[in-house]
Structure 1
Amino acid sequence: MKKTLTFLCLLISITSYTQTTQPNIVFIIADDLNDWVQGLDGHPQTITPNLVELADKGITFTNADCTAPLCAPSRASFLTGKTPDYTGLYLNNPYNCDNFRDNFPPGTHIITLPQHLKDSAGYYTVSLGKVFHCEADQVDFDVTTTDPCAKELSWNKYFGFELDQTVSDAGQANQQGVDGMKWSKIDSSLVSDMSDYTNVDSALLLLEDYSANPSAYCDKPLFLALGIKKPHSNLYIPEQYFLDYYIDDFYEVPYPYNYNDPAGNYPYNGVVTTPLTDPAYTDFASLDSLIKEQVAQDIFRDLKLWPNSVTPLPNIEPGLTNSQRRAILGKSKSANAIMAYLAGVRFADDQVGRFLEGLEAYPEIYNNTIIVFISDHGFSLGEKQHYGKGTIFETDARVPFYIADLRSPVKKVCSRPVSLLDIYPTLSELAGAPEPEFPDGSAYLDGYSLVPLINNPDLQWERGSLTQIRNVLGGNVCFPQNAIRTDRFRYMEWHSNGAGDGDGPCDEANSFTLRTLYEIGANREVDPYEWYDLSDNPDYEPVMDYLHEFMPEGGLYLQKTLKTLISVNGAVCLYDNDDIIKLKSKLYNTSGTLLNGPALSNYTFKWTNNITSAIFTGRNYNFNMNTISAAEYAANKRIIFYLNVTDNATGKLVAFDIKYIYINTANVPAVTFDLSLAGTTMSISDYTLTGSYTNTSWKFGTVYTTEEYLPGPYTFSSPGTYSIKNTIFYGNLASCKVVKSQSITVSEPPLKLSASNSFIAYPNPADNILQLQFENIISDVHVKITNTLGQHVYAEKFNGEQVELKINTEHLAAGNYVLEVIADNYQHSELIEIQH
């Protein structure tokens, strides 16, 4: 009995230790990586399988914003847990790499994230690659203390690497970009010379040493900050990471068109270029000159002017004018720029994969590690005539953000607005560290722990994520330009230097403010490209008034606030002019808990709308449609209700919601369209859509769906009869929809340019091997496999004469693919299926 009790006590002791052991933390920071990551829907042809794997093991925050859209201020912000307004850093220059803390105003109290984890939670902290802004310098590293366990400042250990000269020389020798955005497709053998590759090698060696010699790391849990420099320019990327569409030689005959044409064509026949308004850039043209001054256009201009430097012009096609040739060259050069960026993204993802694979070799570390992956800010690729970073628009501010707790890997997705400021408090809580404080004992951090959202991604959560910059361009540089992102809206305030536009003296008394407002949508379903500025629409004044409260001078600055939601009881598709709209409200506190009973008596609920002057006070509101005049009823497709919730004790606004209610039964949508077929390529024409609607979608056959308003040509992969279905959603319920279907029959052999040969693909479905048996000998065959997103997942050339080919498909996920075989005067594609 005594032995049993002793063993039981020992078992309890071991179990208790295992449960309370602090996790290792790996913090991976990419550079200039926007939302062109699989799962974030930034670009349909991006290839990031390793980030997908990481996302499958943790939570993805789909609406994450940086605090500053430049490297130095963003990194200084999330690594100190403070806004640029506090750090005083809004730009990359000037920046002191030798003494990190000299970058802040004198007397500024700074506690970095690694410093806090080291000093307050007992972590051994390591910096590897670009973490703070200067990757080669020993940034915030105590070089005087020899004992690594007693280091001051941020780090116990520091590594820094610069771009290998071999890579730089290779890129410069074959420079293919423009000033400000240099890129080059370099030899595949140089991949191991890339600094990110070297950094990952060093990280894996460190893991090996940490596993074997924990005493060398002070017997402490590990905090490893790993910088991945790509896709930051210069984009000198090994050739294997580029899409096949990339043009190496603009004089190649026939001309190798590299962009998807026409736009919306599917399967893609080139790289998908940046979505633009029609006509192009009307969204940018509509902006005030004060705002345009904040948008760097130098790379856009260089790309636009580049065709003028091409002498002689390639023929491209007979009958084209020189102007037409230059236009095609300009599109092709811009497409190459996009593919260089995509190659940088793919390379960065590959390094993440190498690290994750290496980490798995040490299960005692892997199974007790939290991995955080972010980018320091976003990046534009032609939106609003802008390539690069440095604006407060969504493209420059939105970042990928994942937290994977490998102790309990579960895939989750959260669409709540979060900020990179939230990393510091989140990791502090997960590490068991106390919250850092100012010397007077007040709370130090500006962000919020995301642990509640990790536990419940659907938790009600209301805050405005702040992005700031004091612009890098000439012009209005005196005062910060500020943006607020909530779950639905992006609101921006642009401040002039003084009374006039341009680079006048700083005159705060006469400075004026312009506003822009975009309804992007929690799931990017409304205006994902920020094309439609709502700031001049008086219906959105209440929205802007509320969002202004999250600005630095507002009453909700840096605060989580209460969340109110409007719902409708007994909703119908469209309300008639004698109906009653039964509106209800819910109110959640800052912890996401629904308030009920006496707690609600502390708040006043005020209802207004955009059509009538009616004001109603109360939690629930029955709005009588007959209070709207016949003329207003006929002229409007919807009524907008606003709900303001104020705290009775302070009189301050603490919650707000806006609700669209669709009205008038005469507005049921009606749709017509015609279909035409050229070979196996279908086109939609004479498309008309009347009435009011909220969204549309198309489905071609059983495989391809799109939410484009009017899709481009679609090429079928095999003969058959296909249903073409257009669904129009409208009104106040998800079930309110109109469906228009037509059928089309494809009878010709798909994509066959020559009937001189044929092949059989077997087995189909295939497992790990797919074989192609040709009827006759065929020479120099290109084989490509494309997934249903249009992404090339396999490409190989078989030189010489062939009659049978074997293709290894074991790396392909189960699903449908398009197999394309190309040879001289021969092209054929068909649908294949992979089953493992």
Structure 2
Amino acid sequence: MCKNIKYIVCVLFLGTLSISAQEKQPNILFIAIDDMNDWTGFLGGHSEAITPNLDKIADKGINFANAHVSAPGCSPSRNSLLYGVEPFNSGLYPFYEHDIHKQLRKKYTTLPTLLKANGYNTFGSGKIHHGSSDDPNEWTDYYEPKNANKKFKDSEGYKRNAKHSFRPTLHPDEEHRDHQFANYGIEKLQEKHDKPFFLAVGIVKPHLPFDAPIRFFDKYPKEVDLENFKEDDLSDIPQAGKKLVKQGEFNQYKKDEAWGKIRRAYLASISWADYNIGRVLDALEASDYADNTVIVIWSDHGYHLGEKNTFKKFTLWEEATRVPFIIYDGRIKNQPQGRNYVEPVSLINVYKTIAEYTGVEVPEYVDGESLIPIIKDQTEQLTIPTITSWGRGNYAVRTKTHRYIRYYNGGEELYDHTADPNEWNNLAKDENQAELIKELKSHLPKNEHPMISDFVSPWSVEGADKAKYRGKNKK
């Protein structure tokens, strides 16, 4: 025991240790967004996008302005990020039924499970995994939303069916699920915590249906144009690429003259998502945890709203792979504003980044690398290239200046983003690009894990395994 002056020194020393421990294990606010592409103010994907809350946090933190997903679909993207393994190393290329997680957890450790096992309380709401979030080893508590009947202003918007709905809603905010998910996060931030916490808030919009409160529709014109469009965009695309295109939906919306309404609804859903994210961020700022919380905001993939004559995701082009990705460390004061990191970054790096923030050792199998060196110094470069997979054998390699796509059957695409940011001109057959293609091709996976077939959703199988599942369980 410490006595007299020794006691004072001992208390100061222990206090220093306590502060250091707290700094080593910050709280993590983990905000997952579903289907949000670059149509935000801070990414500039569409000039009419209204996202003040995301713009504000992007300006305060690090905006990874060239961030890309491991896969352009909810299930493989989230599996990759939360289990920390690239699809070509796990075999989890397509979508899976929710029971797959029981099997995966025998082999891999999810990010929240890792943190919970290392002293964190883990709280979750909304869509974090693509599937069940009821594992007690993973979550200290997980919110179950309340159902409510939707009310629409039927004189506006467009509807094909319940899922493909693009309409303004009239029921109260609190009856929308995203409002409930954000409320749960706000409540947790207002509570007292005796342990560091990992708080995951899954915002479902702008995922289909594109329904949102009417005041967010009112922010936009009745019809929203696509600012960059080329009618014959598919003319120089190899057949394997064309087969990924949802041209039936594209043509249906064109026939119905609905595209302007659909884009308006998508932007309204983005603004509604931004509003709920802002509510959570404001609650953090007003809480006792603002100075000891790292914020990580990401979307699971991008979205096509007519580019490449397609709708939704499920391609290897820029609109399907590029996403919002922001990190802000509230412990660092007087941070410079407006920091944009423009080198390509993959979301596979989220696992190791959060692990380093929290001082937790990761399993040996985890892919990627920590982004903390980049956050400290934006001149730093990653050593691992940014790769997106969509089916075994289908890959895109993204550099700062180019996108290279190679399909399972040898089809290729190459785009120069310095001259062609819309990816309108495929340069793969240009003999002058042969050396560049050779270099980019060298980054493709040398070994591909066979596709996991247990619990697979057949409609989502692409690439080298598609023929086996062709015609099954179409979606």
Q: Which category of TM-score, normalised to the shorter sequence, fits these structures?
A: 0.7 to 0.9
1:349 alignment partner AA: D
What CA distance in whole angstroms lies between the structure 2 residues aligned with 1:171 and 1:297?
A: 29
Paired residues of 1:548 and 1:554 also in contact (CA < 8 A) = no
Paired residues of 1:171 and 1:236 also in contact (CA < 8 A) = no
In proportion to residue count, which structure has more helix?
Answer: 2
Equivalent position to 1:545, from 429, 438, 445: 438
Distance change >3 Å, CA 129–CA 173, structure 1 → 2:
farther
Equivalent position to 2:85, from 79, 82, 101: 82
| Correspondence 1:112 to 2:96 | no
SS at match of 2:414: strand
Paired residues of 1:57 and 1:406 also in contact (CA < 8 A) = no
State the identity as a percent. Answer: 34
Q: 1:109 Cα deviation (Å)?
A: 2.3
Aligned to 1:387: 311
Q: 1:103 Cα deviation (Å)?
A: 5.8
Paired residues of 1:464 and 1:547 also in contact (CA < 8 A) = no
Distance change >3 Å, CA 243–CA 286, structure 1 → 2:
farther
Q: 1:3 Cα deviation (Å)?
A: 5.6
Cα deviations across residues 794-830 of structure 1 (Å, max 9, x unaligned)?
xxxxxxxxxxxxxxxxxxxxxxxxxxxxxxxxxxxxx
Moved more, 66-75 or 457-466: 457-466
SS at match of 2:180: helix
Aligned to 1:200: 182
Aligned to 1:158: 142
Q: 1:24 Cα deviation (Å)?
A: 0.3
Paired residues of 1:35 and 1:399 also in contact (CA < 8 A) = yes
| Correspondence 1:58 to 2:61 | yes
What CA distance in whole angstroms lies between the structure 1 residues aligned with 2:156 and 2:219?
A: 18
Aligned to 1:233: 208
Q: 1:547 Cα deviation (Å)?
A: 1.0
What CA distance in whole angstroms lies between the structure 1 residues aligned with 2:156 and 2:42?
A: 33
What CA distance in whole angstroms lies between the structure 1 residues aligned with 2:265 and 2:156?
A: 13
1:536 alignment partner AA: K
Q: 1:466 Cα deviation (Å)?
A: 1.1
Paired residues of 1:426 and 1:448 also in contact (CA < 8 A) = yes
What CA distance in whole angstroms lies between the structure 1 residues aligned with 2:362 and 2:41?
A: 34
Cα deviations across residues 287-341 of structure 1 (Å, max 9, x unaligned)?
23332111112221111121xxxxxxxxxxxxxxxxxxxxxxx2xx312111100
The residue correspondences of 1:700-711 to structure 2 (distance < 5 A) are none
Aligned to 1:413: 340
Distance change >3 Å, CA 244–CA 115, structure 1 → 2:
closer
1:528 alignment partner AA: P
Q: 1:243 Cα deviation (Å)?
A: 4.4
The residue correspondences of 1:778-797 to structure 2 (distance < 5 A) are none
Q: 1:174 Cα deviation (Å)?
A: 6.9
SS at match of 1:516: strand
What CA distance in whole angstroms lies between the structure 2 residues aligned with 1:173 and 1:100?
A: 42
Paired residues of 2:48 and 2:220 also in contact (CA < 8 A) = no
Structure 1, unmatched stretches of 5+, are 143-151, 248-257, 259-270, 307-329, 438-443, 471-478, 496-511, 556-836
What CA distance in whole angstroms lies between the structure 1 residues aligned with 2:153 and 2:143?
A: 25
What CA distance in whole angstroms lies between the structure 2 residues aligned with 1:527 and 1:50?
A: 30
Aligned to 2:354: 427
Paired residues of 2:148 and 2:176 also in contact (CA < 8 A) = no
| Correspondence 1:224 to 2:199 | yes
What CA distance in whole angstroms lies between the structure 2 residues aligned with 1:102 and 1:6?
A: 53
| Correspondence 1:371 to 2:353 | no
Paired residues of 1:130 and 1:160 also in contact (CA < 8 A) = no
| Correspondence 1:130 to 2:122 | no
The residue correspondences of 1:22-421 to structure 2 (distance < 5 A) are 22-92=25-95, 94-95=96-97, 97-98=98-99, 100-102=101-103, 109-119=107-117, 121-134=118-131, 137-139=132-134, 141-142=135-136, 152=137, 154-161=138-145, 164-167=147-150, 170=152, 176-178=158-160, 181-187=164-170, 189-209=171-191, 211=192, 214=193, 219-244=194-219, 246-247=221-222, 258=223, 271-277=224-230, 280=231, 282-306=232-256, 330=257, 333-362=258-287, 364-409=288-333, 410=335, 411=337, 412-421=339-348
| Correspondence 1:481 to 2:434 | no
Paired residues of 1:417 and 1:463 also in contact (CA < 8 A) = no
Moved more, 291-300 or 418-427: 291-300
Q: 1:173 Cα deviation (Å)?
A: 9.5
What CA distance in whole angstroms lies between the structure 2 residues aligned with 1:39 and 1:464?
A: 24
Distance change >3 Å, CA 126–CA 99, structure 1 → 2:
farther
Q: 1:110 Cα deviation (Å)?
A: 0.8
Cα deviations across residues 129-165 of structure 1 (Å, max 9, x unaligned)?
110013xx444x13xxxxxxxxx3x222222337x43
Distance change >3 Å, CA 172–CA 67, structure 1 → 2:
farther
Equivalent position to 1:529, from 422, 426, 432: 422
What CA distance in whole angstroms lies between the structure 1 residues aligned with 2:245 and 2:144?
A: 32
Cα deviations across residues 493-552 of structure 1 (Å, max 9, x unaligned)?
112xxxxxxxxxxxxxxxx3111011114xxxx321111111011111111111111111
Larger radius of gyration: 1
What CA distance in whole angstroms lies between the structure 1 residues aligned with 2:421 and 2:122?
A: 39
Cα deviations across residues 368-421 of structure 1 (Å, max 9, x unaligned)?
000100000000111011111111111000111000001115232211211111
SS at match of 1:283: coil
1:304 alignment partner AA: K
Paired residues of 1:422 and 1:448 also in contact (CA < 8 A) = yes
What CA distance in whole angstroms lies between the structure 2 residues aligned with 1:72 and 1:172?
A: 32
Q: 1:428 Cα deviation (Å)?
A: 0.4
Paired residues of 1:181 and 1:299 also in contact (CA < 8 A) = no
What CA distance in whole angstroms lies between the structure 2 residues aligned with 1:178 and 1:534?
A: 38
Distance change >3 Å, CA 548–CA 368, structure 1 → 2:
same
Aligned to 1:760: none
1:337 alignment partner AA: I
1:197 alignment partner AA: H
Distance change >3 Å, CA 481–CA 353, structure 1 → 2:
same
Q: 1:481 Cα deviation (Å)?
A: 1.3
Distance change >3 Å, CA 399–CA 127, structure 1 → 2:
same
Distance change >3 Å, CA 171–CA 388, structure 1 → 2:
farther
Paired residues of 2:169 and 2:211 also in contact (CA < 8 A) = yes
Cα deviations across residues 88-147 of structure 1 (Å, max 9, x unaligned)?
22223x41x24513368xxx721111111122x32111221110013xx444x13xxxxx
What CA distance in whole angstroms lies between the structure 1 residues aligned with 2:299 and 2:330?
A: 20
CA RMSD of aligned residues (A): 2.3
SS at match of 1:356: helix
Cα deviations across residues 550-585 of structure 1 (Å, max 9, x unaligned)?
111289xxxxxxxxxxxxxxxxxxxxxxxxxxxxxx
What CA distance in whole angstroms lies between the structure 1 residues aligned with 2:219 and 2:55?
A: 22
2:188 alignment partner AA: L
TM-score, structure 2 length as denominator?
Answer: 0.87
What CA distance in whole angstroms lies between the structure 2 residues aligned with 1:284 and 1:290?
A: 11
2:326 alignment partner AA: Y
What CA distance in whole angstroms lies between the structure 1 residues aligned with 2:380 and 2:133?
A: 41
TM-score, structure 1 length as denominator?
Answer: 0.50
Larger RCO of the pair (alpha carbons < 8 Å, separation 6+): 2
Structure 2, unmatched stretches of 5+, are 449-475
